Amino acid sequence: MATTNLSYYDKTTIPNAKSFRFGIVVSEWNPEITENLKDGAIATLLDCGALKENITTWQVPGSFELVYGAKKMIQTLNLDAIIAIGNVIQGETKHFDFVCDGVTQGIVDLNIKYDVPVIFCVLTDNTKQQSIDRAGGKLGNKGIECAVAAIKMAAIKNSNTNTESIGF
């Protein structure tokens, strides 16, 4: 678990995102967390050159639905990368385990089946405070980190050569 803010990035180490198209699918559950993650992701994509009109955002009811939302984006939009944003906080039942396992495996399956990288931006924390700390709080904003990952993966997706030729 991160104990320092890892959301700082060096733009000189990230490909320019101007030519890439991004999808962001966001869970409506825990919106005070997921909206902060989304805002961090969008701001980072724009800061790294992405065009506003090349960022499509969809909302789904909960984290479990992120997989279907990302799949529909892959099937209906021409995207270079998708960021799946959600938040699941441990409760008193096994629901947490089932949702976390399902979403994780679903995103893995999408990455295996399709040629569009889907970035896992789902906070799975024990407490709401841990989520707040990772959604713009003292530990940074995981939305920023996932946007950087999306840009790098979009560059790999669009490259016909090794990663050294795209600046890694």
- Rounded to a whole number, what is the distance in angstroms from the first to the last CA of the chain? 25
Taking the alpha carbons of 145, 130, 27, 34 in that order, is the dihedral positive or negative?
A: negative
3-class DSSP state for residue 2?
Answer: coil
For residues 40 and 93, give the distance between their C-alpha atoms in angstroms, rounded to a whole number.
Answer: 31
Cα–Cα nearest to 21, from 84, 83, 82, 79: 79
Cα–Cα nearest to 6, from 124, 111, 149: 149
Q: What are phi and psi of 103, to 5 degrees?
A: -65, -45
Has 111 been annotated as catalytic? no
Instruction: Kindly list the distances between the CA atom of residue 156 and the CA atoms of 62, 90, 115, in Å, as whole numbers in the listed order.
Output: 29, 35, 11
For residues 58 and 37, give the distance between their C-alpha atoms in angstroms, rounded to a whole number.
Answer: 14
Candidates 11, 18, 95, 138; catalytic one: 95
Catalytic residues: 95
